[in-house]
Homo-oligomer: A and B are copies of this chain.
């Protein structure tokens, strides 16, 4: 039995942070019932790219979930929602603070009626503070939270992290709060409210830049692909692309120099210590690339692997999805097609557990409201567990 078998998640969230959290919980064995707005459903159903008219983005993020469309302002649908709440272990929502209260489903109300319910909320700025209630997008919190200020070329403008870090990290912290609350409920019998702010989460993942800023008074800047205080620790050009050399200490640097055919660099006073290498970082990069441009990435990676120097190719996503190590770990999985629908591809479950069979295929993403009849049937059945 999967760790979260028997757990039912009632998921009012849409777009990314909340659905990402629900997927984490589903991958651990929970049943996720996605409650969507009638007629349009989750906004991401309309997000490109499409295959046969269906969003590949939606399909990957919502694989294996079930869907029911409910209008939470209509009495008949509210009755269904109430019945779902009575059976749910966890309610997830990502409305602006105050919306759930206006619907009559605020935490205060629910807690008194359903003391075991775990209520997980994710919003741009959280449910407290001067900006509680303001909307936010991924890019706004990437900008506000500082990660863009340390991402980009030296001397260049700030750059957005290509993955939607603002949403993803918030979804992960929400999952952690929900899991901790489930454990605690096993002892106390009581649920909890979790209030996650996307902006808070951006600060939480800034380890060294907080230390640098507070200890030195100077906020770190942008250093392109290079580590700010370790050399050589960057990308380098090969004949056919970029690869990484991560030679974090003198012993690894000596091995690198030997592998590149220039053992003398290791004792050159300009490169003999990390401090000296950092001082001559531009020169050392030119010397290394004058060698590495002469052969393709694969050759250098084989050479450095054999020498024990950490290395790896800068892979584009097409290369990533063919990476043998990722394939061996079931990290690229098909999303099953619904009858007549297209198949998709999604990431696998990175949480490999001895108590959890590894995911090799994801169930299809639901059509809007596709599971209404089954869910209503379940609600009219005996009260034990999700179907």
- Hey, which bits of chain A sit against chain B, CB under 8 A? 1, 3-4, 16, 20, 24, 28, 47-51, 55-57, 59-61, 107, 111, 125-131, 134-137, 139-141, 143-153, 156-165, 168-169, 172-173, 175-177, 179-184, 186-188, 190, 192-197, 199-201, 203-227, 229, 233-235, 242-244, 246, 248, 305, 310-321, 323-326, 328-329, 331-332, 344-356
Q: Which of B125, B165, B234, B328 is in CB contact (< 8 Å) with A128?
A: B328
In the A-B complex, the 7 residue pairs with the smallest Cβ-Cβ separation, listed nearest first, are A150-B162, A129-B328, A179-B179, A186-B186, A3-B184, A56-B215, A56-B211
Q: Bound state CA distance, A351 and B201, in angstroms? A: 9
Q: List 29 A-B contacts (CB under 8 A).
A: A3-B183, A3-B192, A60-B207, A129-B325, A137-B233, A137-B246, A139-B225, A139-B246, A143-B314, A144-B312, A144-B315, A144-B320, A146-B320, A147-B161, A147-B163, A150-B317, A151-B162, A152-B152, A163-B205, A175-B176, A176-B351, A177-B352, A197-B329, A200-B348, A200-B350, A203-B320, A203-B326, A219-B317, A219-B319
In contact, B351 and A173 (Cβ under 8 angstroms): yes
Q: Which of B187, B195, B321 is in CB contact (< 8 Å) with A210?
A: B321
Q: Main SS of the interface on chain A?
A: mixed
In contact, A227 and B139 (Cβ under 8 angstroms): yes
In contact, B329 and A129 (Cβ under 8 angstroms): yes
Q: Which of B159, B161, B177, B206 is in CB contact (< 8 Å) with A353?
A: B177
- Other A-B pairs, 19, CB within 8 Å; known A146-B319, A159-B224: A3-B183, A49-B212, A57-B208, A126-B325, A128-B329, A131-B325, A134-B305, A139-B244, A140-B310, A141-B312, A143-B313, A158-B225, A161-B165, A169-B169, A173-B351, A194-B352, A200-B350, A203-B348, A212-B317
In contact, B181 and A3 (Cβ under 8 angstroms): yes
Q: Bound state CA distance, A347 and B150, in angstroms? A: 17
Q: Which of A161, A184, A209, A346 has the most CB of B within 10 A?
A: A184
Q: Bound state CA distance, A312 and B177, in angstroms? A: 27
B contact residues around A199 at 8 Å (CB): 323, 325-326, 329
Q: Bound state CA distance, A179 and B131, in angstroms? A: 31
In contact, B163 and A206 (Cβ under 8 angstroms): yes
B contact residues around A353 at 8 Å (CB): 177, 180-181, 192-195
B contact residues around A216 at 8 Å (CB): 49
In contact, B200 and A49 (Cβ under 8 angstroms): no
Q: Which of A136, A162, A169 has the most CB of B within 10 A?
A: A162
Q: Which of B57, B193, B203 is in CB contact (< 8 Å) with A211?
A: B57
B contact residues around A134 at 8 Å (CB): 305
B contact residues around A136 at 8 Å (CB): 310, 312
In contact, A351 and B140 (Cβ under 8 angstroms): no
Q: Bound state CA distance, A214 and B60, in angstroms? A: 11
In contact, B141 and A181 (Cβ under 8 angstroms): no
Contacts A147-B162, A162-B222, A180-B179 given; indicate if A173 touches B347 (C-beta within 8 A): no
Contacts A321-B213, A325-B125 given; indicate if A316 touches B149 (C-beta within 8 A): yes
In contact, A317 and B248 (Cβ under 8 angstroms): no
In contact, A224 and B350 (Cβ under 8 angstroms): no
